[in-house]
Amino acid sequence: MLEATPRTALVTGAAVGIGHAIAERFERDGWAVYRFDRTLEDGARAVRGDVRSEADWKRLADRIGSEAGQLDVLVNNAGILREAPLEDTSLAVWDEVIGVNLTGAFLGCRSMLALLKRGDSPCILNVASIDALRGSLRHSAYAASKGGVDSLTRALALELANDGIRVNAICPGTVDTPMFRSIHGNTADRAQKRLALHPLKRISTAEDQAAAAAFLCSTEAAFITGASLSVDGGRAIR
């Protein structure tokens, strides 16, 4: 446990994968965690919604405002990957990927700003990707969206520093989640090639990412803002 004081957090894309692991980790640390996902049913601190929808963000902000009165930690994690060469990347696919991954993070930061300003040691964590740092085949829309998330992180870190809000990103390598399995899990050969790309000789668990998130969102990281932390078993430095 990194944080003695319980915090109120919101994690998007929290139904499965990395977002789920981050939400579970925060809850284990005693935090109150709101989970926002297009596949969840509305329930206790669970909100069904689409990160591309301003109306859904407004509903969520109203609910957190009336129940908790403030927000200490926002994690913009929801994301999608569409793999295709450029000539097969339709405008609809491009718009969908940019919409969820980049516009969703922008809307999250803007919608939660007033609540974060009332928070204790407030911070935002964006989940970017190794694709923001390196070229990636057949991932043009995804890589562009994650490069945008990386830049958004630095821009907002500067802008929100006056409000005492830290803004950081993690850049996962390959993580064993439903997203990864939908792309790579179908052929043992492709999955094996992924392993070989990671100097630490394994791909990441979602919990590896959650551990980095727990640190960056804790007051142990009080002097870290504008950082993009690679959590990739050394893949980006190969």
Residues annotated as part of the active site: 142
Rounded (10°) CA dihedral 161, 162, 165, 171: -20
Q: Burial, 84: exposed, middle or buried (Cβ in 10 Å; 0-12, 13-18, 19+)?
A: middle
Number of Cβ within 10 Å of residue 85's Cβ equals: 10
Least separation in angstroms between CB 81 and ligand NAD: 6
Instruction: CB nearer to ligand NAD: give 62 or 163.
Output: 62
Residue indicated by tokens 């958004």: 152
Contacts of 177 (CB under 8 A, 6+ apart): 16, 17, 18, 206
Strand 73-76 versus strand 46-48 pairing type:
unpaired
Nearest Cα neighbor of 235 from 208, 211, 210 is 208
Residue 75 binding ligand NAD, by CB under 6 A: no
**Residue with tokens 């996962």, as numbered in its chain:** 172
Q: How many residues bind ligand NAD (CB under 6 A)?
A: 28
Site string (157-176) toward ligand NAD, x via CB under 6 A: ---------------x-xx-
Q: How far is the CB of 204 from ligand NAD (least distance, A)?
A: 7
| Minimum CB–partner distance for residue 129 and ligand NAD (Å) | 4
Of the candidate spans 24-32, 34-42, 111-119, 161-169, the one that interacts with ligand NAD by CB under 6 A turns out to be 34-42
Select from 14-22, 27-35, 85-93, 152-160 the region that touches ligand NAD (CB under 6 A).
14-22
Binder to ligand NAD among 6, 85, 178, 185 (CB under 6 A)? 178
Q: Choose between 49 and 119: whose C-beta lies nearer to ligand NAD.
A: 49
196 token code pair: 């070989």
Interface residues with ligand NAD (CB under 6 A) are 12-13, 15-19, 37-39, 50-52, 77-81, 100, 127, 129, 172, 174-175, 177-180
